[in-house]
């Protein structure tokens, strides 16, 4: 089984891919995540040991948190018409897969993935850890899932520190540039900042 993540991979697609791949392996299945050329260093650790070797030929292909054909990374283009199952939570889902598991009422695909995986049995810490950090637009159900993941005993503090308490030097430099060029209007009620590609290139972000 080969698992696909979307372009500009975020915590939801990476977390779902890592959790699903790990859960499948715990079920005795052969599963890998397709390497994503845009994967950043902050998310790379979650896929350590899970990436497919070069030339891997899967029997089944699964996508996670991918709503449209335009979200396929360059190296996943060959699977555009070969996705057997898509897990998603976006109302804009294009139904490109043979089968689709969609719940547009979920705050994140990770919520849906948790409910799927727990049908196979108890959720291990290895599966719970990458699912814990993926939520953005929360709901009561989101907190219920987060509580269940914490109950597995995962060490969640390093995740919170990495994603919400730590800033890279490049980001700090960018924020400094944005602040210095900020235009404040309406007696301080409105602030406009401009981020350009040249600014990003300048700090090599």
Q: What is the pLDDT of residues 141-190, one digit of tens each?
A: 778 888 888 889 888 777 777 777 788 889 899 999 999 999 999 999 99
Q: Reply yes or no on whether the pLDDT at 134 is more than 70.
A: no
Residues whose CB falls within 8 Å of the CB of residue 122, separated by 6 or more in sequence, listed in order: none
Residues whose CB falls within 8 Å of the CB of residue 145, separated by 6 or more in sequence, listed in order: 110, 111, 114, 115, 131, 135
Residues whose CB falls within 8 Å of the CB of residue 154, separated by 6 or more in sequence, listed in order: 125, 128, 129, 132
pLDDT confidence of residue 83: 98
Q: Are 159 and 129 in contact (CB under 8 A)?
A: yes
- Give the DSSP per-residue string, 117-183: HGGGSPPPHHHHHHHHT---S--HHHHHHHHHHHTTT---HHHHHHHHS---HHHHHHHHHHHHT-E
Q: Reply yes or no on whether the pLDDT at 135 is more than 60.
A: no
Per-residue model confidence as pLDDT tens digits over 33-78: 999 999 998 899 999 999 999 999 999 999 999 999 999 999 999 9
Residue with tokens 């709901």: 139
pLDDT confidence of residue 157: 75
Per-residue model confidence as pLDDT tens digits over 84-129: 999 999 999 999 999 999 999 888 999 999 999 999 999 999 999 8
Q: Are 39 and 18 in contact (CB under 8 A)?
A: no
């Amino acid at each position: 089984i080969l698992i696909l993540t979307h372009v500009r991979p975020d915590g939801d697609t990476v977390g779902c891919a890592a959790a699903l791949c790990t859960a499948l392996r715990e079920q005795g299945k052969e599963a890998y995540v397709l390497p994503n050329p845009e994967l950043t260093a902050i998310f790379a650790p979650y896929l350590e040991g899970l990436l497919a070797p070069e030339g891997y030929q899967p029997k089944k292909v699964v996508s996670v948190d991918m709503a449209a054909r335009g979200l396929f990374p360059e190296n996943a283009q060959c699977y555009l018409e070969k996705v057997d199952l898509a897990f998603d939570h976006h109302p804009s889902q294009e139904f490109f897969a043979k089968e689709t598991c969609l719940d547009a009422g979920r705050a994140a695909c990770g919520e849906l993935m948790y409910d799927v995986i727990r049908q196979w049995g108890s959720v291990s810490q290895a599966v719970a850890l990458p699912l814990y950090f993926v939520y953005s637009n929360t709901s009561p159900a989101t907190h219920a899932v987060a509580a269940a993941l914490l109950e597995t005993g995962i060490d969640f503090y390093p995740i919170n520190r990495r994603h919400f308490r730590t800033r890279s030097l490049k980001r700090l430099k960018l924020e400094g540039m944005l602040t210095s060029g900020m235009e404040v209007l309406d007696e301080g009620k409105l602030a406009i900042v401009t981020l350009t590609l040249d600014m990003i290139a300048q700090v090599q972000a």
